[in-house]
């Protein structure tokens, strides 16, 4: 079919094509010819293609897909003994796994990334995986380990790494009840002037939690809204879910049933998108309760069904990075 149309396009017999169609088919012909004669892609080229695909998936918030694609690139980098590539790709894969809430899988990759950077004589580059290690350890409850990792990361010359490290250290202080010290850390983090949406979101969320601890619900709500907007811009569905969940609980405490139900339902969908099924189940369950109290029986029923589905998936064994 293609060859026939190409003959037509260059003036052969058969139905006449428009000039535009002729150009299109001529372009297809040239592409086919180029692809057919191109040499096989090198290992380096294939690695970079997988890496670009993984980066695109990560940017779209498809962290499970990104983690799997980074794994291909890591394997290729190891086969080529490309140690800088191994360190860089392990950091990205670990970050994707951490975004999924899979810190048990992220930590060994992040630690190896930091170790390889140090072996390469690049201690500054090691600060970013150390920051990610600190955040994961804080999430899993290892506060002492998190403190150590975040303090290492704090020495970075990168203002965003310093800002996120300070925000993480402030959160640990807030958990210990050292609220004034936590606030000072957050103020110092803000002074870094980091423009990264992820760093802005993390700091706003932590400040929201601090305001809640200080019994300042209006300030907490403002911070959580800022965090939700920044997490959304950063395509961080896990952070967005946490911010919406906090906003929904504040609305529920203020007996704003419909607003709470909507926020909690959105939190459930964001958590589901981040494959954080247990968090999704919690959010949908709380949303169902708020809708039920507001007399919205259909919405309550739907949220209960979504919550049960999320809980079933949370209890099923499945590959860690499956989306």
172 lies in some domain: no
Q: What pLDDT score was predicted for residue 9?
A: 37
Q: What pLDDT score was predicted for residue 5?
A: 37
pLDDT over 60 at 317, yes or no: no
pLDDT over 50 at 55, yes or no: yes
Could you report the per-residue pLDDT of 28-46, keeping only the tens digit for each? 454 444 445 545 567 778 7
- Taking a C-beta distance cutoff of 8 angstroms, is the pair 131, 165 a contact? yes
319 lies in some domain: yes
Domain that holds residue 295: 236-323
Buried/exposed 161-185: b ≥16 CB within 10 Å, e otherwise: bbbbbbbbbbbbbbeeeeeeebbeb
* CA–CA separation, 230 and 281 (whole Å): 24
Q: What pLDDT score was predicted for residue 40?
A: 56
Number of other CB atoms surrounding residue 195 within 10 Å? 10
* CA–CA separation, 154 and 281 (whole Å): 35
- Residue 197 sits at the vertex; the CA angle it makes with 94 and 209, to the nearest 5 degrees, is 85
pLDDT over 80 at 106, yes or no: yes
The pair of structure tokens assigned to 139 is 């999430």
What percentage of the chain reaches a pLDDT higher than 70? 85
Task: Give the confidence band of 246 by pLDDT, cuts at 50, 70, 90.
Answer: very high
> Whose structure tokens read 């010290």?
181
Ranges 134-148, 225-239, 241-255, 309-323: which has the least confidence: 309-323
Residue 10 is given by DSSP the state: T
Q: What pLDDT score was predicted for residue 320?
A: 42
293 lies in some domain: yes
Total structural domains in the chain?
1
The pair of structure tokens assigned to 41 is 């892609």
**Rounded to a whole number, what is the largest CA-CA distance in the chain?**
85
pLDDT over 70 at 25, yes or no: no
For the residues 268-273, what does the mean pLDDT come to?
94
pLDDT over 50 at 267, yes or no: yes
pLDDT over 70 at 60, yes or no: yes
291 lies in some domain: yes
pLDDT over 80 at 85, yes or no: yes
Q: What pLDDT score was predicted for residue 217?
A: 96
pLDDT over 50 at 118, yes or no: yes
Phi-psi region of 236 (alpha: psi -120 to 50; beta: other; left: phi over 0): beta
CA end-to-end distance (rounded Å), the chain? 39
10 lies in some domain: no
pLDDT over 60 at 15, yes or no: no
* CA–CA separation, 264 and 286 (whole Å): 7
Handedness of CA 284, 274, 174, 250 (dihedral sign): negative
> Whose structure tokens read 């403190």?
147
pLDDT over 70 at 146, yes or no: yes
320 lies in some domain: yes
For residue 267, give every residue at least 6 positions away whose Cβ sits within 8 Å of its Cβ, in sequence order, or none.
240, 241, 242, 244, 245, 247, 248, 279, 283, 287
* CA–CA separation, 253 and 8 (whole Å): 72
pLDDT over 90 at 78, yes or no: yes
* CA–CA separation, 99 and 136 (whole Å): 10
Q: Is 189 exposed, middle or buried (0-12, 13-18, 19+ CB in 10 A)?
A: buried
Q: What pLDDT score was predicted for residue 26?
A: 47
* CA–CA separation, 312 and 218 (whole Å): 36
Q: What pLDDT score was predicted for residue 140?
A: 93
């Amino acid at each position: 079919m293609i060859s026939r149309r190409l003959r037509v396009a260059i003036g052969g017999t058969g139905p006449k094509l428009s000039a535009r169609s002729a150009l299109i088919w001529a372009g297809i012909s040239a592409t086919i010819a180029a692809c057919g004669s191109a040499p096989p892609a090198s290992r380096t080229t294939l690695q970079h293609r997988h890496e670009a695909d993984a980066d695109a998936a990560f940017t779209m918030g498809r962290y499970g897909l990104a983690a799997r694609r980074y794994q291909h690139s890591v394997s290729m980098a190891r086969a080529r003994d490309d140690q800088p590539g191994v360190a860089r790709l392990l950091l990205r894969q670990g970050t994707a796994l951490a975004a999924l809430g899979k810190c048990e899988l992220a930590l060994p990759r992040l630690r190896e990334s930091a170790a390889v950077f140090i072996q390469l004589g690049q201690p500054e580059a090691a600060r970013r995986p150390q920051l990610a290690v600190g955040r994961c350890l804080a999430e899993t409850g290892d506060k002492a380990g998190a403190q150590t990792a975040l303090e290492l990361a704090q020495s970075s010359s990168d203002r965003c790494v310093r800002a996120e490290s300070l925000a993480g250290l402030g959160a640990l202080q807030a958990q210990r009840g050292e609220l004034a010290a936590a606030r000072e850390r957050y103020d110092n983090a803000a002074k870094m002037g980091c423009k990264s949406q992820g760093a802005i979101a993390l700091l706003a969320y932590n400040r929201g939690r601090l305001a809640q601890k200080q019994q300042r619900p209006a300030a907490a709500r403002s911070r959580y809204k800022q965090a939700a907007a920044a997490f959304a811009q950063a395509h961080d569905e896990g952070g967005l879910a946490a911010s919406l969940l906090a906003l929904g609980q504040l609305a529920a405490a203020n007996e704003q049933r419909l607003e709470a139900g909507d926020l909690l339902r959105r939190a459930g969908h964001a958590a589901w998108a981040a494959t954080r099924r247990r968090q999704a189940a919690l959010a949908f369950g709380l949303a169902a309760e708020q809708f039920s109290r507001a007399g919205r029986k259909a919405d309550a029923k739907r949220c209960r069904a979504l919550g049960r589905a999320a809980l079933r998936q949370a209890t099923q064994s499945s590959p860690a990075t499956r989306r």
